[in-house]
Structure 1
Amino acid sequence: MKPVLRSMTIATAALAVIAVPTAVTAAPPHPDRDALQSRLDDVVTAGTVGALAEVRDPQGTWQGVGGVAELGTTREVPVDGRVRAGSITKTFVATVVLQLVGEGRLGLEDTVDSRLPGVVPGGDRITVRQLLNHTSGLFDYVQTLPMPPAPGFLANRWRTWTPAELIQRAVAHPPTSDRPGVAFAYSNTNYLLLGQIIEKVTGRPYGTEIERRVIRPLQLRGTTVPGTSPQLGGPHPHGYVPTRTDGGTELLDYTRMNPSVFGAAGEMISTPTDLNRFFAALLGGRLLPDRLLTAMTTPGVPGGDYGLGLAWRDTTCGTRVYGNDGGTLTYQSWSYATGDRRRQVTVAVTPDLRADYAVVFAAVDALLNKALCP
């Protein structure tokens, strides 16, 4: 659910600087590794509770942590801990959709109505391709939900949402463009529909298909599709949301919650190691044939930076890298790799949403550039 943190309006001008213990890395001292750790420490100082990262490059694999796993303690963030991966889920969903296309069971130009009759207005004009690349024009259901520190947000903590409920919240609003396919507008609604289409085509829930087609073959042991389970399972840092109190705004531990509100748009749990392994396999052609991987890396609109469930960005050294990022308020993750897969990085943080997130994102960008540039 990528745009959640970026759309928050609760940031304050002052940073909430958190006292942190000495960071621990899983690699011996090395000038380049020390620089990576320094960048990760900067991410924490910028306004996060904890942070963890894994970098893969020609020197090997480096893992680093910073901050604390839980406020009020000095407990270190677990190396390769589990986090809610947010919109990185979309790349998994897109991979399954494209596998079904490769099998001839689904077409990129199939309309929503041909698979889910009557579910969305104008579904006879919206294609699977347009859902994947966010050019459908469907309103983003996330924009209809209360956000912290509003009291209504906490009231939904344990609620089980169905995709149908969330889709109806979206289609109660007018589309974001006059016709599908002409403009990029990020919408989590698109991927709820893709999850439903996977189920229609296969007869199995989209999460089952991800487990069967991706998680088990790649042996992603820290990756799950939780459904309605509030648990992360395994070692993990705690995640927090701001709440209003008589004295101002404080952070509430929101690690455990019902993730059905994210669904196929962002419910998955994973680790830095697993996400690096997934993107290496995807970009290396292990999950899709070349023609569909090419389609995945083709922008939905001219000059865009998002294809069929896959994003890209250019580093400060001019290298184009591919992957995705995602946020679920309590966790934010980034996972990118160079096209030749010689360099990869996954970073995950537990944000302090009272901080200035422009500063946090700048610190993360500096870490990504350091990891991905020769």
Structure 2
Amino acid sequence: MVRPVLTALLVLLALPGQSRAADPVAAFAHWATGQGADGGAIAVLREGAPMASQDATTARDLASNSKAITALCVLTLVDEGRLDWDMTIAQALDRDAPDATLAQLVTHSAGIAPDGTQLRMRLWLNEETPRHGHVTDIVLDRRKQRGTVGTFQYNNENYALLGAIIAHSTGQPYEAACTARVLEPAGVSGALSPRFAAFGGWGGWRMSMEDHARLLWHWFGPQGRVGADPLALPVAARADGSWYGLGMGYRDTDAGMQMSHAGALSFLLGPKTGAYAVVFPDGVTVATAYDEPVASVSAFRALDQALSEALSSR
């Protein structure tokens, strides 16, 4: 059976320790090669300014890191007064829906399950339009949701619903609405991927790592709309003591809040890709992408350590 995998690994960088590598690009390249990747891209910013990079101007698929764009788009609509975090799905879509709020959707705590996208995504490759409406119908036609409202359970369907809500509330296509509200204020460019546009709000965006890092710095950096006080916005507690917030995982450290996200797309005899990004407590931002669907927690811990050591010496 051909089975796609879209996994968001909420990995958080360890605190910097004794430096063994002075170059984050070299540390990343060594890690990527060890994961079997033929190529990779990385951009590192310090205080919003370029610090190190490799192939950072080439557009790359973001996979699940696309979710931050969707979450930020909803945030702007809340700020505009079009939506409210306490608004129910039914109110936002003007149709019968599970009794959950937008805050619960964005934090994967809406009780929606199972994830109906996983076995269908292979059928949607190379489409030009997001499948938000289709997935919304799948969710709303389901007799019973198998999740627990208020409990974190990662599911792409949450962000497909948010994609449909964005289009419904703005009267604009999802991509146009989010480009204007999320990308343009950060001064970056991006678009839905020619390969993965159907995955739209949960995994369909593509941009350069240079632009991805700048996007994250603008919104999640220490002075950003989210980064200035991330726990003031919707979050869901996770079992390990961290939180899932606006399309990113948060962990409080001695140095402050670290925010990160990773994702992977893999199709048998089809495209494979992965992405990882992190915003350090001091605002140092790292965005990476590679051509291997890395989905191992231990592999990301190794990357965490390598990047931490390299950055601590800069």
TM tier relative to shorter chain: 0.7 to 0.9
Separation in 2, partners of 1:320, 1:288: 14
Listed one character per residue, the Cα deviations across residues 107-165 of structure 1 (whole Å, up to 9, x for unaligned) are: 11100011213354xx2x2100000100011122223337xxxxxx4x65345663232
Give the residue type in structure 2 aligned to 1:365.
Answer: D
Separation in 1, partners of 2:265, 2:182: 22
Q: Percent identity?
A: 24
CA distance 1:208–1:3, change in 2 (3 Å): same
Question: What's the RMSD between the two structures over aligned residues?
Answer: 3.4
TM-score between both structures, scaled by the size of structure 1 = 0.67
Listed one character per residue, the Cα deviations across residues 334-353 of structure 1 (whole Å, up to 9, x for unaligned) are: 11112331x221121110x6
Whether 1:184 aligns to 2:159 is: no
3-state SS of paired residue (1:141): coil
Listed one character per residue, the Cα deviations across residues 34-81 of structure 1 (whole Å, up to 9, x for unaligned) are: 4640442232123222122122247961113xxxxxxxxxxxxx4432
Q: Indicate which of 88, 92, 110 corresponds to 1:115.
A: 92
Separation in 2, partners of 1:313, 1:289: 14
Residue 210 of structure 1, CA deviation? 1.5
Whether the 8 Å CA contact 2:6–2:265 is kept in 1: the answer is yes
Whether 1:210 aligns to 2:181 is: no
Listed one character per residue, the Cα deviations across residues 86-124 of structure 1 (whole Å, up to 9, x for unaligned) are: 12221111112111112222111100011213354xx2x
Give the residue type in structure 2 aligned to 1:132.
Answer: V
Whether 1:53 aligns to 2:28 is: no
Separation in 2, partners of 1:193, 1:270: 23
Separation in 1, partners of 2:226, 2:299: 37
CA distance 1:118–1:371, change in 2 (3 Å): farther
2:109 is matched with which residue?
135
Taking the TM superposition and a 5 Å limit, the aligned residue runs for 1:56-67 are 56-57=45-46, 61-64=51-54
Whether the 8 Å CA contact 1:305–1:313 is kept in 2: the answer is yes
3-state SS of paired residue (1:211): helix
Separation in 2, partners of 1:210, 1:166: 19
CA distance 1:107–1:321, change in 2 (3 Å): same
Separation in 1, partners of 2:30, 2:286: 16
3-state SS of paired residue (2:300): helix
Whether 1:306 aligns to 2:283 is: no
Whether the 8 Å CA contact 1:54–1:63 is kept in 2: the answer is yes
CA distance 1:282–1:157, change in 2 (3 Å): closer
Residue 212 of structure 1, CA deviation? 1.0
1:163 is matched with which residue?
132
Whether the 8 Å CA contact 1:335–1:347 is kept in 2: the answer is yes
3-state SS of paired residue (2:204): coil
Q: Indicate which of 290, 295, 300 corresponds to 1:361.
A: 300
Whether the 8 Å CA contact 1:298–1:307 is kept in 2: the answer is yes
Q: Which is greater in Rg? A: 1
Q: Indicate which of 276, 280, 285 corresponds to 1:338.
A: 280
1:243 is matched with which residue?
none
1:195 is matched with which residue?
163
2:291 is matched with which residue?
350
Give the residue type in structure 1 aligned to 2:6.
Answer: V
Taking the TM superposition and a 5 Å limit, the aligned residue runs for 1:154-303 are 156-159=124-127, 162-170=131-139, 172=142, 174-178=144-148, 180-181=149-150, 183-221=151-189, 223-226=190-193, 230=194, 257=195, 259-284=196-221, 288=225, 293-296=230-233, 298-300=235-237, 303=241
Gaps of 5+ in 2: 10-19, 267-271
CA distance 1:84–1:296, change in 2 (3 Å): farther
Residue 327 of structure 1, CA deviation? 2.3
Separation in 2, partners of 1:335, 1:371: 16
Q: How many residues align?
A: 290
Residue 312 of structure 1, CA deviation? 2.4
CA distance 1:358–1:117, change in 2 (3 Å): same
Q: Indicate which of 23, 26, 32 corresponds to 1:43.
A: 32
CA distance 1:293–1:204, change in 2 (3 Å): farther
